A = this chain, B = another copy of it.
Amino acid sequence: MNHQTHESLRLTEQVSELLVVRASGHENDNQRDYPNWELPNHELQRLLKVGIGGVILFGGSCTEIQRRCHRLNQWAIKPLLLCADIEEGVGQRFKGGTWLVPPMALAQLYLKEPQRAMALAKKYGECIGMQAKLCGLNWVLGPVCDVNSNPRNPVINVRAWGEDPQTVSKLVSAFQQGLASEGVLSCAKHFPGHGDTEIDSHLDLPLLGQDIQQLELCELIPFEAAIEAGVNSVMTAHVLLKQIDPKYPATLSKKIISSLLRQKLNFQGLVVTDALVMEAITKSYSSGEAAVLAFAAGADLILMPQNPDEAIKAICHALTSKKIPMERLEQALNRRRKALRKLQSFECKVSSKTASINHNGIESEQSSQLAEELVRLSLQIRNPGTLQTQKEAINLIRVDDVLPCQVLSQNAPALQLPTEAGYSTVLCHKLSITPWEKRPDGSLNLNRIGIGPVLIQLFIRGNPFVGNSNSMEPWLETIEQLQNQQRLAGLVVYGNPYLWLELSRCLDPNIPAAYSPGQMQEAQSQVLTNLLEDKIFDKDSQVEPWKQFTD
């Protein structure tokens, strides 16, 4: 091997170190949920041998993630950064872990009881950190530092720690403390703020009008607080700030990353891009272009380029052709090494703590109590104990997806408890027969639903990839329609507080109703136990919707 080749291999390996690629949390290729986005094992193995330095995991259970992290570390030739989007608890992504209420719930508590909210935010971080570590992950892609200043934000929404910069700052600092105490790295996102947009950057590039002065009054404050609290990395947003850099979105913008984040905010840690496969980027840039622009702008780690090989090649070429100075590479590699050293020092400190895993799996008693407490503190219940048990009543549930459904299983309380009270479940989702009359009249087609009173349970929150299609569903009109016909048995909103606000305003004050920021089964159980009457309907006489015309 001649010197030239050796040099070039070394450069490839160094550049590879800066990439974070996506893998399924499942062990077998045939289990991948998104085979187009998740590399098959032989590709992962190859890239890890090339020297890829990070993997982001999606899907699977905690048991599977543990195995997976172990395997990835075996395949890799260098220490890996292993991360996941578990900003609301490991159980948000990985079965068996604890799924906590979204941060916005704590923001609401903060307005009444700031000390308690901060103490809980710290525990929230501890819970995530501990379980992430038990899974083998060492880098949590949280906290969200966006200020949800726009109630119509389709992708941040309840994921934010508040609607004003002070609340967000206080809570993310507390969260950061908790997370750090468990020995995993954190990530403040999405710089310089993704809160004030009505567009989901998974689908298109949002444009923002703020200048630096305006950002300083709002968006930047929580990032400054997170940096102050020791956050280890910052993730850039795919948003275009036209007053600051009219050409490049933040992820690719030197003005945002180098001038604003590095110089003005004096951030010394790792800067990571948001996923480069998102439409906001891929609509305008190839894998190589996006990676080179982000790296040149000051990003240290390149997350989920559409084509990792192209990204590596393009960055290498930019370096050898001196379009990007070699110092940029040294800088990025040094920051990554520093983060890894930090992890090692963590490990020495906290190893005793995590050694005490019991045989009941990853969720400690403490964690499940925290999850329960957070649900309890965040519930809003109207007219408890008045949801009637009755024949022919309908339990109309609206979820985003059923293949799979994250919030419901066959035995979920949202189904089980109303069923025990005599309700028949009708489940609406993207692929179901539409429950609506032809729009724009905005009313429910009641023939399709059934003849009895209707309990409506809406699982709607800001979720990536869903965009604004949720807000187009005429739930307000439906509430009015059912109330006019005296057929509204009750209403529950799980998730979006703005939707709850809108619907609850027009609600007859005697209707049993509830709001829970959390959508998990614990929330369903608390909501319905609170709402339902005690007496249990005779199970034998209930009608199942599918069977109702076939017996």
Binding site for B on A (CB under 8 A): 26-31, 33-35, 41-42, 45, 60-64, 67, 71, 75, 95-96, 359-363, 368, 401-405, 408-412, 415, 425-436, 438-439, 448-449, 469, 472-473, 544-551
Cα(A497)–Cα(B96), bound, Å: 39
A75 touches B27 (CB 8 A): no
Q: List 17 A-B contacts (CB under 8 A).
A: A26-B63, A26-B95, A27-B96, A27-B362, A28-B360, A30-B361, A41-B360, A60-B63, A61-B64, A63-B64, A402-B427, A403-B409, A427-B431, A430-B546, A432-B546, A433-B433, A433-B545
CB distance from A411 to the nearest CB of B (A): 7
Choose among B45, B361, B469, B544 the residue that contacts A28 (Cβ–Cβ < 8 A).
B361
Cα(A551)–Cα(B473), bound, Å: 10
A30 touches B411 (CB 8 A): no
Cα(A471)–Cα(B463), bound, Å: 39
B contact residues around A432 at 8 Å (CB): 426-427, 432-433, 545-546
Q: How many copies does the complex hold?
A: 2
B412 touches A408 (CB 8 A): no
B26 touches A548 (CB 8 A): no
A33 touches B410 (CB 8 A): yes
B contact residues around A544 at 8 Å (CB): 430
Choose among B402, B546, B550 the residue that contacts A403 (Cβ–Cβ < 8 A).
B402
Cα(A279)–Cα(B96), bound, Å: 31
CB distance from A396 to the nearest CB of B (A): 9
B contact residues around A427 at 8 Å (CB): 402-403, 429, 431-432
Cα(A449)–Cα(B445), bound, Å: 13
B contact residues around A433 at 8 Å (CB): 426, 428, 432-433, 435, 448-449, 545
A469 touches B401 (CB 8 A): no
B contact residues around A71 at 8 Å (CB): 359
B28 touches A362 (CB 8 A): yes
Cα(A45)–Cα(B359), bound, Å: 9
